[in-house]
Structure formats: structure tokens, C-alpha cells
């Protein structure tokens, strides 16, 4: 059996974003203390990348099933009940992400109507805001994957229970 690689889209994006953020912050500090001149655009880009990191990182946590859970409740449950509980909590997470996904487009449309520009680089603000629905779309996708896996697992547990 082939071993699955843990390298995926979310991992690559978060690694790249972290490296870029680290580089920008380093350049900002060096410019401030060595050149005695502050690059204000570095702060703007780091803030925008932080939003991308947060949403894509949430999708990565969802994929790895490492979002916060109440182990106090699920730790004592039987496998079938634990799987049902997982389906319920993942569905709630997916619904919350769907709501935020939908409202993020409202924010983007407002920024488009107002022709909002960022302070330092003077680029359209919606370009940074697009990170929100992108990351939330990944969260929704991973939630749906997890729900389908849990439903398959629940069917398998049910078949095993009937076989006994």
C-alpha cells in the first residue's frame, strides 16, 4: 500500500505565506534600524497575508481533523456515537464557514462599489479581501470531505454491528 503524502495545497500555501511574511517583516525591521526608513507597505502586506494564513490554516486544520473539539464529551463515547457527533460538529463548522463565505462576498462588493484602495500600495482593497472566500472555500471543501468520510465510517460500523 502506498503511503499518503502529507504535502497538499493548504500545506504549500501556508508554508509559502509564512516564508513571505517572515521575509517582509525582516525587511521592515532592517529598513527601520539600518536604513532609518520604514517600508510601510510591508505592514500592509503582512496583515493581508495573515488573513490568508488564518483561513487556509483553518482548512488545513479541518483536513487533518485538528480543529478544537470537546474531548471531555467524545472521549467516553462509543465509536458509532463519536462518528455521529463528528458529523454534527463538522456540519455546524461547514454552516458557519458557508455564512462567512457568503458575507465575505458582500464585503467585497462593497469595496468594489466604493473603489476602496489600500493605504500604502494604493491597490484595490478587494484584492486582499479575496483571501477570505478563498480560504473559507477550502474549509467548506474539507468539511464536506470529512462528513462524507464519517458517513462511510458510520455505514461500515453499522454493517459490522449487524454482522455480529
pLDDT digits (tens, 9 = 90+) for 93-115: 999 999 999 999 999 999 999 99
- Extents of the domains making up the chain: 9-163
> Please, is 138 exposed, middle or buried when counting C-beta atoms within 10 Å of its C-beta (0-12, 13-18, 19+)?
buried
Model pTM? 0.88
Q: 29-56, pLDDT tens digit by residue?
A: 999 899 888 888 899 999 999 999 999 9
| Contact predicate 46/24, CB 8 Å | yes
Amino acid at each position: 500500500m502506498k503511503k499518503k503524502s502529507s504535502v497538499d495545497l493548504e500545506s504549500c500555501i501556508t508554508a509559502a505565506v509564512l516564508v513571505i511574511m517572515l521575509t517582509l517583516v525582516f525587511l521592515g525591521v532592517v529598513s527601520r534600524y539600518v536604513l532609518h526608513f520604514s517600508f510601510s507597505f510591508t505592514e500592509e502586506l503582512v496583515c493581508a497575508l495573515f488573513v490568508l494564513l488564518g483561513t487556509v490554516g483553518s482548512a488545513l486544520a479541518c483536513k487533518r481533523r485538528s480543529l478544537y473539539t470537546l474531548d471531555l464529551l467524545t472521549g467516553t463515547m462509543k465509536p458509532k456515537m463519536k462518528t455521529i457527533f463528528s458529523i454534527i460538529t463538522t456540519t455546524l463548522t461547514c454552516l458557519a464557514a458557508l455564512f462567512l463565505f457568503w458575507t465575505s462576498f458582500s464585503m467585497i462588493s462593497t469595496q468594489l462599489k466604493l473603489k476602496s484602495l489600500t493605504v500604502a500600495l494604493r491597490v484595490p482593497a478587494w484584492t486582499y479581501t479575496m483571501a477570505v472566500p478563498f480560504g473559507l472555500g477550502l474549509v467548506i471543501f474539507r468539511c464536506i470531505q470529512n462528513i462524507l468520510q464519517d458517513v462511510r465510517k458510520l455505514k461500515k460500523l453499522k454493517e459490522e454491528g449487524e454482522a455480529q
